[in-house]
Amino acid sequence: MRITRARGAAVTAAALTLTLTLAACSGGSDGGSSDGGGGGDVTAADIDAALDAEGTTTLQYWSWVPNLQPTVDLWNEAHPNIQVELTNAGQSADQYTKLQNAIKAGSGAPDLAQIEYFALPQFALGESLVSLDDVGLSDLESDFTASAWEQVAAGDGHYAFPQDTGPMVMFYRADILERLGVEAPTTWDEFLTVARAIKADNPENFIASIDPGDAGGVDSLIWQAEGRPFSVEGTDVNISFGDEGTQKFAELWDTLISEQLVDVAGGWNDAFWRSLDSGRYAMWMTGAWAPGSLETNIPSTAGSWKAATMPVWEAGTPANAENGGSGTAVLAKSENKAAALAFARWLSTDSEAVQAQVDAGLFPSTSSIMADTDFLGATSDFFGGQAVNEVFVQASKDVSSGWQYLPFQVYANSVFGDTAGQAFSNATPIADGLTAWQDQITTYGNGQGFKVTND
Amino acid sequence: MTQTSTVQASPEAPVKKARTGRRRPASSSRARTSPTLSILMTLMLLYAVVPLLWLVINSTKTNGGLFNSFGLWFADDFALGENLTKLFSYQGGIYSNWLLNTVLYAGVGGIGATILATLGGYGLAKFSFPGRKWVLAGVIGAMTVPLTALAVPTFLMFSRLGLVNTAWAVIIPALASPFGLYLMYVYSQDSVPESLLEAARLDGASELRTFLSVSLRLLTPGFITVLLFTVVATWNNYFLPLIMLTDPKLYPLTVGLNQWSAQAGSSGASEPVYNLVLTGSLVAIVPLIIVFLFLQRYWQSGLAAGAVKQ
Amino acid sequence: MTSVTTSAPPRKTRRAKAPPERREWTGLAFVLPFLAVFVFAIVAPLFYAVYLSFFQDRLVGGSFFAGFANYAQALTDPLLHVGLGRVLLFFAVQVPIMLGLGLFAALAIDSGRLRAKGAFRITLFLPYAVPSVVAALMWGYMYGNEFGLIRQIGDAIGVATPDLLSASWVLVAIGNIVTWSFVGYNMLILYSSLRSIPTELYEAAEIDGAGAIRTAFSIKLPALRPALLLTTIFSVIGSFQLFNEPNVLRALAPTTISSYFTPNMYAYNLAFNGQQYNYSAAVAIIVGAVTVVVAALAQRLSRAGEK
């Protein structure tokens, strides 16, 4: 049953006809992102009115924050007229993919979604989210820490209610440092010294690991070094890893990697936890949301951990960065915007709600709880009785301002491992790797209609 | 496209192999067992079994046990019972939903696909109608289409039809099995003699009745083989449900288990559930293995059909 | 699409002794249910993909007709070339090993020189029951360079094991997962084919005084040619569509397994991380076309070998 070439041509012709028919049918209506947006038709008064509205509204809410259901239950009990259905639609990038697909398809998107700060500008740019400024909620600024409020800003608006933040903290194994007779480092110079001491003690061990696939972690370290590689003004984007802060970071980590003082390995997997468990890694520098993960993943190390603010570049000049954290955004296409805004506002500002989320392991974003003496004084057995929240709050206050994410950061992060990550894995100069990353995302940005420069 | 059609082609060519019951006895009398062969085959057997054994052994460990015991031996505490209890109660017993969903998707999708493929394969093999060759060529060509090429368009289409995030989004694509159709096509040609059909027609039976009363019985081994493949394919499907479903209550096992596996990678006090991922994987495999064993004697002969022809 | 559905059979065909031309339409009636689903779930999305591939949709500026620009870009895209080269290499190395093992097992079980061959047959087939995602998760645990089973065994017997997730080994590691999953499956297809070799051929060989090995080469292998071709074609498709295994292992080896490691992963990441749905469609269509060509070449080679 050989099909001759002539018949093959006939198949092709038929295919083309069908294609054109389909093309005519769908009429290019899948642009999706051009209409909607803004949400200017809702006012603060509407939001308050929604709380007392008759009938029952059901809100769809996507979030992968662990143990969030009890907090949502609190709301549902108090508001029989606005019931919130919580769905875990996947972790981070998986959820953004689904959200982006649903927005593109024009149906299936929830009323609200948890969106990490790095991904927020992308959704805000597509006018997929309600701007809090458009609905008269800009006065919420005073409720949140400065860095949290700055991180929900994109373009000319604020597009989410800050839910949790992740000021960088240095978690370290006090037992290991004590055995070696060294103090916890307060500067990066001291960090290098301690790292060499750990290596000298046992060449199999490392002071910490760095994940060559995790753009977020590297971004935070650059931010903490006062590097500001991304700047965005509307659709004008500048990407440059040539600034002084980025270079300082790159040189230090070149040294750490070439002397094999840090392990270049993926995070969050079985081997990572085992390394923290066994003392193969002595530290983990990450967001203040980490204690819950440490306690549940490596309970056997309870009591030997301590938390401290990050090593700084210049002694006496505190500087810090955020790592992770997310906000609750209301979708512009939601038919229940007022009710959704009311819930999201409650979730981020109500003291009972915030406390419930803190109990679930999140590090908060509201300024009031940061001054709460009960919160500050709480001690943790896992950290040997240390009042860790004091450290975390200080870390939060130290966060330096002016950091921006790209309006295509989700893509940028997805190719980090292909470019910059290669430098970490192959112990080649990090600056070169960052340049490769810069080139690729510049090409992408220009291809997507942005005006990208590398100044 | 022109070339693929030739791949499994020439169905009109005379059947070279005698498939009519002339099989050798299961073990030939002249053969003795060969030690070398036994050793080599035992090595292959170990290769197949050791990872499964690893899964069974590690399903009996707690998270702590997983971290600090040798992979191919039991940890101090034997926690299979606890793991199973926790597996079916964790997150409100959602694993049961996943298991039932998978059974539903694989059952409806697999049985439906097999019925459609059997009808279609039979129709293509036993009747000649305009466009028949095009259908065959199209179906064979479709087997080479990369999944990702279809993922986004299918999603957008289904989304407009309101099918996304419903069981149908997984079941409908599973109903189309080009390989099943091809196999049933070859099998029908081979195992349903034209003379029987003619006899039935002379008796005045309708084509549908002829199919149901005469042909279907002859097609049983092929039917079971295709059923096995389509059920396994749907049972193991990951990519499509991942894209189509957002509600975890609708997930099949593969998507659910991978989400649990990724859960240790989320911020906050997320609970690591490696032990449940492993126990859940084991439980996910067991029903398929039972089906394999149960249907074994049928699919043996059905499988041959697709392979003996050129 | 409409042209197919409008040609539905007239109802009156269900009569005894239908003349051939009437039975033709009955045949179509048998095929129609399948065709309906096939057109809906495969053909329509495929044409929609082709349609999408002629556009470009930007985050800023929206969608516009782009002609063959996406195809032109894909044909010169080094990232796609790297991925295609990798799956070709994978195909060239992994597939012969897998099919060789499957063939050996099929011949061994068929030889009658093995005790408990039924147990071998079903056991080798068992890994096929393991979903590829689960298989990749499992092997990922075992590969782990610090704490994995393979390292543990290596340490126990004093052999230094390589880091299986490093750049030089990762393709081997993936090949092993695929081989493990599908050896039994291929073995069964080949074995079933062997079982259907007519007895007369063996009797003739016995009269000739051929030994077991000569019988294998002179009778069994030629008879297996169609089955080998079928398994090869499946393997071509499987290699070019490689996705689940590297995608799951990527969590463990984020830099050795890039976002464009295989063409399928590249298409996936373009669409879902980069919002480049249109370019992704063009890439996927090119990959499909290459798959067809390679499958056809395999077919040609097999034909040539026959002569």
CATH superfamily ID and name for B86-308: MetI-like (1.10.3720.10)
- Check residue C222 and give its pLDDT: 83
Q: What is the distance between the alpha carbons of residues A250 and A433, in angstroms, rounded to a whole number?
A: 10
If one counts every other C-beta atom within 10 angstroms of the C-beta of residue C118, the result is 11
Starting from the edge strand earliest in sequence, which strands make up the sheet with A451-453, in order? A230-233, A236-239, A451-453
Average pLDDT, chain C: 85
In the structure, what pLDDT confidence band is assigned to residue B304 with cuts at 50, 70 and 90? low
In the structure, what pLDDT confidence band is assigned to residue B299 with cuts at 50, 70 and 90? low
Instruction: Determine which of C47, C255, C257, C272 to mutate to test the interface with A (most A C-beta atoms within 10 Å).
Output: C255
Look at C25 and A216; give whichever has higher pLDDT.
Answer: A216
A74's CB contacts (< 8 A; 6+ apart) are: A352, A353, A356
Q: Kindly list the residues from chain A whose CB atom is less than 8 angstroms away from the CB atom of residue B248.
A: 87-89
| Pairwise CB contact (< 8 Å): C63 & A30 | yes
Nearest to B288 by CA among C41, C245, C135: C135
**% of chain C beyond a pLDDT of 70:** 91
Nearest to A305 by CA among A404, A400, A177: A177
Gap from A277 CA to chain C (nearest CA, Å) = 12
Beta bridge partners of A285: A170
Nearest to B260 by CA among B279, B233, B240, B234: B279
Q: What is the ipTM of this complex?
A: 0.85
Nearest to A2 by CA among C24, B13, B14: B13
Residue A413 is inside which H or E element, if any?
Answer: helix A409-414
Q: Kindly list the residues from chain C whose CB atom is less than 8 angstroms away from the CB atom of residue B48.
A: 123-124, 126-127, 180, 183-184
**Model confidence at C40: pLDDT above 60:** yes
| Pairwise CB contact (< 8 Å): A266 & C254 | yes
Averaged pLDDT for residues C185-202? 83
A283-287 vs A57-62, strand pairing mode: unpaired
In the structure, what pLDDT confidence band is assigned to residue B69 with cuts at 50, 70 and 90? confident
Q: What is the distance between the alpha carbons of residues C234 and C226, in angstroms, rounded to a whole number?
A: 12
Q: What is the distance between the alpha carbons of residues A247 and A258, in angstroms, rounded to a whole number?
A: 16
Q: Could you tell me where the DSSP H helices lie in A202-238?
A: 215-224
**Model confidence at B139: pLDDT above 80:** yes
Residue A263 is inside which H or E element, if any?
Answer: strand A262-264
- Check residue C275 and give its pLDDT: 87
Half-sphere exposure of B304 (CA within 13 A, CB side): 24
A292: nearest CB among B155, B248, B269: B269
- Check residue A214 and give its pLDDT: 92
- Check residue B5 and give its pLDDT: 31
Q: Sort B233 into a burial class: Cβ within 10 Å, 0-12 / 13-18 / 19+.
A: middle
Coil, strand or helix at C1:
coil
- Check residue A12 and give its pLDDT: 37
Q: Kindly list the residues from chain A whose CB atom is less than 8 angstroms away from the CB atom of residue C300.
A: none
Same fold, A44-165+324-377 and A168-322+381-453: yes
- Check residue B20 and give its pLDDT: 40
Six token digits for residue A3? 């099909």
Look at A286 and B202; give whichever has higher pLDDT.
Answer: A286
Q: Kindly list the residues from chain A whose CB atom is less than 8 angstroms away from the CB atom of residue C259.
A: 414-415, 417-418
Per-residue HEC secondary structure of B202-242 comes to HCCCCHHHHHHHHHHHHHHHHHHHHHHHHHHHHHCCCHHHH
Write the pLDDT tens digit of every residue in B140-154.
888 777 666 688 788
B294's CB contacts (< 8 A; 6+ apart) are: none
B145: nearest CB among C20, C263, C288: C288
Q: What is the distance between the alpha carbons of residues A411 and A434, in angstroms, rounded to a whole number?
A: 15
Nearest to A323 by CA among A267, A239, A260, A367: A267
Question: B24: which DSSP letter?
Answer: P
Look at B26 and A274; give whichever has higher pLDDT.
Answer: A274
| Pairwise CB contact (< 8 Å): B10 & A30 | no
Q: Where are the domains of chain A?
A: 44-165+324-377, 168-322+381-453
| Phi, psi angles (nearest 5°) of residue A368 | -65, -45
- What is the residue-wise DSSP string for C136-166? HHHHHHHH-TTT-HHHHHHHHTT-PPP-TTS
**Angle at CA C268, nearest 5°, toward C265 and C269?**
85
| Pairwise CB contact (< 8 Å): A425 & C256 | yes
B2: nearest CB among A3, A273, A289: A3
B153: nearest CB among C45, C139, C198: C45
Write out residues 209-248 of A within 8 Å (CB-CB) of C.
211-214, 235
Beta bridge partners of A164: A326
Cα Rg of chain C (Å, integer):
25
Residue A84 is inside which H or E element, if any?
Answer: strand A82-87
Write the pLDDT tens digit of every residue in C242-271.
999 999 898 888 899 999 999 999 998 998
In the structure, what pLDDT confidence band is assigned to residue B55 with cuts at 50, 70 and 90? very high
B71: nearest CB among C152, C183, C199: C152
Q: Where are the domains of chain B?
A: 86-308
Q: Describe the crossing of helices B274-308 and C170-195 by its angle, rounded to 10 degrees.
A: 40
Averaged pLDDT for residues C71-99? 96
Cα Rg of chain B (Å, integer):
24
Write the pLDDT tens digit of every residue in B273-285.
888 999 999 999 9
Nearest to A59 by CA among A44, A42, A81, A43: A81
Q: What is the distance between the alpha carbons of residues A119 and B188, in angstroms, rounded to a whole number?
A: 55
Q: Which residues of B115-130 are buried (b: 16+ CB within 10 A; e: fewer)?
A: bbbbbbbbbbbbbebe
Q: Kindly list the residues from chain C whose CB atom is less than 8 angstroms away from the CB atom of residue B281.
A: 130, 134, 137-138
Within an 8 Å CB–CB cutoff, is residue B264 touching chain A? yes
Options 3.40.50.150, 3.30.70.270, 3.40.190.10, 3.40.50.80; CATH for A168-322+381-453 is 3.40.190.10
Q: Kindly list the residues from chain B whose CB atom is less than 8 angstroms away from the CB atom of residue C192.
A: 300-301, 303-304, 307
Residue C190 is inside which H or E element, if any?
Answer: helix C170-195
Instruction: Determine which of A5, A19, A91 to mutate to test the interface with C (most C C-beta atoms within 10 Å).
Output: A19
Q: What is the distance between the alpha carbons of residues B294 and A265, in angstroms, rounded to a whole number?
A: 45
In the structure, what pLDDT confidence band is assigned to residue C221 with cuts at 50, 70 and 90? confident
**What does pLDDT average to in each consecutive run of 10 residues of chain A (455 residues)?**
36 38 37 40 88 93 90 97 92 87 85 96 92 93 94 93 96 97 97 97 96 95 97 95 96 97 88 91 95 87 97 95 95 95 96 93 92 94 96 96 95 95 96 97 96 95
Token look-up 């609708």 returns B250
Question: A366: which DSSP letter?
Answer: B
**B147: Cα separation from own chain's centroid:** 16
**Model confidence at C23: pLDDT above 80:** no
Q: What is the distance between the alpha carbons of residues C18 and C44, in angstroms, rounded to a whole number?
A: 34
The beta strand positions in chain C, using DSSP E, are 55-58, 62-65
**Model confidence at C100: pLDDT above 90:** yes
CB-CB contact of C103 with C192 (8 Å): no
Averaged pLDDT for residues B126-151? 82
A259's CB contacts (< 8 A; 6+ apart) are: A195, A196, A199
Question: Amino acid identity, residue B118?
Answer: T
Q: Which CATH architecture has domain C71-306?
A: Orthogonal Bundle (1.10)
B175's CB contacts (< 8 A; 6+ apart) are: B109, B112, B113, B116, C37, C41
Q: Could you tell me where the DSSP H helices lie in chain B?
A: 35-58, 63-67, 80-126, 132-142, 147-160, 168-175, 178-191, 194-202, 207-210, 216-235, 239-244, 253-263, 274-308
Q: Where are the domains of chain C?
A: 2-38, 71-306
Six token digits for residue A404? 């921006």
| Pairwise CB contact (< 8 Å): B257 & C137 | yes
In the structure, what pLDDT confidence band is assigned to residue B68 with cuts at 50, 70 and 90? confident
Look at C302 and A421; give whichever has higher pLDDT.
Answer: A421
- Check residue B75 and give its pLDDT: 84
B268: nearest CB among A4, A107, A360: A360
Six token digits for residue A224? 């903490």
Q: Which fold has domain A44-165+324-377?
A: D-Maltodextrin-Binding Protein; domain 2 (3.40.190)
Interface of C with A (CB under 8 A): 1, 44, 47-48, 50-51, 55, 57-63, 141, 144-148, 167, 250-256, 258-260, 269, 272-275, 277
pTM of this prediction?
0.86
